[in-house]
Structure 1
Amino acid sequence: MTKKAFITGLTGQDGSYLAELLLAKGYQVFGLVRRSSTSNLERVSHLFNQIQIVSGDLLDQSSLMDVVTETQPDEIYNLASQSYVPLSWTQPALTAEYTALGVSRLLESIRRCKPDAKFYQASSSEVFGQPDESPQTERTAFRPRNPYGVAKAYAHWMTINYRQKYNLYACCGITYTHESPRRGTEFVFRKITQAAAKIKLGLANELKLGNLDARRDWCYAKDAVYAMWLMLQQEQPDDFIIASGETHSVRELVECAFNYIGLNWQDYVSVDPAFYRPDEAVQLVGCIDKIKTKLALQPQYSFKELVELMVDYDLKLLSGNK
């Protein structure tokens, strides 16, 4: 019998890759889109004849219950949220509505309308904030330091509470920063690879960045969504850190991107204090022992390969050869 999956956040980076993965595995895929949404559907436009778009909103309990009742999914992946950290400071209440309370509404819809569905909640390394240990494990204390992280912490614990209280198959993947050619240019990894490509093609001559010593645990988005799928294939629900297990500085990222295209980054990159994050995370890096041993997950791309993949993509995109 064909499995059915329901994805919120379908139009995002992760949602689009997850839809592709599930379709390749023979699933019938439903994707939630707000009726009034002006979201860019470009990431999933190539899938329109294979997926079913359903209308609903994480702010509206009844619409979620209707969708779950109508689609009767075997698996539900909640990837939707207001996920841009700086915006969470200017729109904290809206971030809480979507990223925190939206999960409560979705969990309640599952409990009432499809309690045997398996549920994946996209948690985030931002829940750790400024952790007291590095690397972080699934047992590291949460100390969120921005509204987005606070909202994700609420969603994480609500998922666990619903699992324990109602015996739902509900689990959380604590994802660290993950990248791909479908990543928005407001995020530093894509900002750098696109800027390097523009400079190489003569379309720009400088790149302004914040703290070059800031370090991140970056992994490939396709590896992350494969981990999400694997989590729902286990006999028992459990929570996992999804990461690369290593950190690299923004400086290393810049150097790698510019070296790849044969340019000296120091000729083009300048530091602008305006781009410093006021709550710069300290050594956020995930321990991946659990996901490697329990799910046998091995990353597909190294850091260097991921940088080169994205620079290549941006060079083709900006040259009109996408």
Structure 2
Amino acid sequence: MQKRALITGITGQDGSYLAEFLLNKGYEVYGLVRRTSTTKLERISHIQDQIRLVSGDILDARSLQHVLELAQPDEVYNLAAQSFVPESWTQPILTGEVTALGVTRLLDAIHMVNPKIRFYQASTSEMFGKVRETPQNELTPFYPRSPYGVAKVYGHWITVNYRESYGLYACSGILFNHESPRRGLEFVTRKVTNAVARIEAGLQTELRLGNLDARRDWGYAPDYVEAMWLMLQQEEPDDYVIATGQTHSVYEWVVTAFNLAGLDWERYVVIDPKYVRPAEVELLVGDAGKAERQLGWKPTVHFQDLIQIMLEADRKMVHEEIV
């Protein structure tokens, strides 16, 4: 029989790639969307006629039960979150309600409606924060450095708790940074590649950034959604770090992007203190050895190629804007 999957956060970067991936696997795909006057469907517009969008809200437990009863999914992928880290300082309570308690509402709905549903929780490397060891693996202690990171730690442990308390097939994927042309413009990676494309075209003269010294483990989002699916295909539920094992600074990202365009970054980049976080995460790099051994997963796109993919997409977008 055709499998069914429900994706929360389907309109985001990961949700859109996951929906494509599952459709290619022959799934019937449902996507949870909040009913608003300005729902943004750009990332899934090309597959919108192949998926079923259902109205619900991660803040409303009853609506989640209704959606589960309607969709009757075999798998649920919880990608819904207030996921922009800087915003979590200005909206810490909302971040907690969505990114932390939203996980509990969804798990509880699964427990009540159909405990046989397999559940994926989108955990994050931001949970490691002020890292205790390098590289970080599934046993590394958490030390989050933002309200977002704190909320994600709650979401991670409540997933473990429901797995152990009720026997749910519930997994957490501890995903390190993963980017693509569908990344929002507010994120530094996309902000840089988009600015380079606009500077090339004469539409922009400067790029304002914060801390260039922060180091991250950056991968390619389509690689990472495959790992989500693989986690739910195993005999037993477990948690996995998904990462490239390579770390690079924001400075390296900037220099590489400008070099690919033949531009001198120092002529255009301005350091602006307003973009510096109240508490910075200085270094993240993951050990995905467990995922390689048990899931057979490996990243396929690495640092410079990832930047090239994003820059080319932004160049195309800028070209369409001009013409």
Common topology (TM > 0.5): yes
Q: Hey, what does 2:300 align to over in structure 1?
A: 300
Shift of 1:274: 2.3
Alignment of 1:284-299 (within 5 A): 284-299=284-299
Residue 103 of structure 1: aligned partner:
103
Find the counterpart in structure 2 of residue 143 from structure 1.
143
1:137-286 matches, cutoff 5 A: 137-286=137-286
For structure 1, list consecutive stretches of 5 or more residues without a partner in the other structure. Answer: none
Counterpart CA distance in 2 for 1:243 and 1:44 is 25
Q: Cα deviations across residues 205-244 of structure 1 (Å, max 9, x unaligned)? A: 2112112221111111111101101111111101001111
- Give the C-alpha shift of residue 191 in structure 1: 0.4
Distance 1:55 1:16 in 2: 17
* Counterpart secondary structure, 2:136: coil
RMSD: 1.2
TM-score scaled by structure 2? 0.97
**Deviation of residue 39 (structure 1)?**
3.0
User: SS where residue 7 of structure 2 aligns?
Assistant: strand
The Cα offsets for residues 267-300 of structure 1, whole Å up to 9 and x where unpaired, read as 2222222222221112111111111111111212
Cα separation, 1, equivalents of 2:112 and 2:37: 26
Query: Runs of 4+ in structure 1 displaced over 2 angstroms?
Result: 36-39
Instruction: Decide whether the 8 Å contact of 2:82 with 2:99 is kept in 1.
Output: yes
CA deviation profile, 1:164-207 (whole Å, cap 9, x unmatched)? 11111000001111100000010000000000111111111211
Please, which runs of 5 or more residues in structure 2 have no aligned partner?
Answer: none
Quote how far apart the aligned CAs of 1:319 are.
Answer: 0.3
**How high is the sequence identity, in percent, across the aligned residues?**
59
In 1, Cα distance between the equivalents of 2:282 and 2:257? 24
SS of the residue 1:22 aligns to: helix
Kept in 1, the 8 Å contact 2:231–2:295? The answer is yes
Q: CA deviation at 1:266?
A: 1.8
Q: Secondary structure at the match of 2:298?
A: coil
Counterparts of 1:22-171 in structure 2 under 5 Å? 22-36=22-36, 38-171=38-171
Equivalent position of 1:317 in the other structure: 317
Q: Distance in 1 between matches of 2:111 and 2:138?
A: 25
Distance in 2, matches of 1:181 and 1:278, equals: 28
Q: 1:127 to 1:37 in 2, by over 3 A?
A: farther
Pick closer, same or farther for the CA change 1:39–1:177 going to 2, 3 Å: farther
Q: Residue 37 of structure 1: CA displacement?
A: 5.8
Structure 1 position 7 matched with structure 2 position 25: no
Query: Does the CA-based 8 Å contact 2:243-2:285 persist in structure 1?
Result: yes
CA offsets, 1:6-54, max 9 Å, x none?
A: 0000100000000000000000000000123633111111111100001
CA-CA distance at 1:261 after TM superposition: 1.1
Question: In the alignment, is the contact (CA less than 8 A) between 2:196 and 2:258 conserved in 1?
Answer: yes
Aligned residue pairs: how many?
A: 322
Tell me the distance in 2 between the aligned counterparts of 1:102 and 1:208: 34
**What SS class does the counterpart of residue 86 from structure 2 fall into?**
helix
Q: Tell me the TM-score normalized by structure 1.
A: 0.98
Matched AA of 1:184: G
Mapped to 2, the partners of 1:152 and 1:112 lie a distance apart of 23
Counterpart residue type for residue 42 of structure 1:
E
Amino acid at match of 1:272: D
Indicate conservation of the 8 Å contact 2:145/2:280, yes or no: no
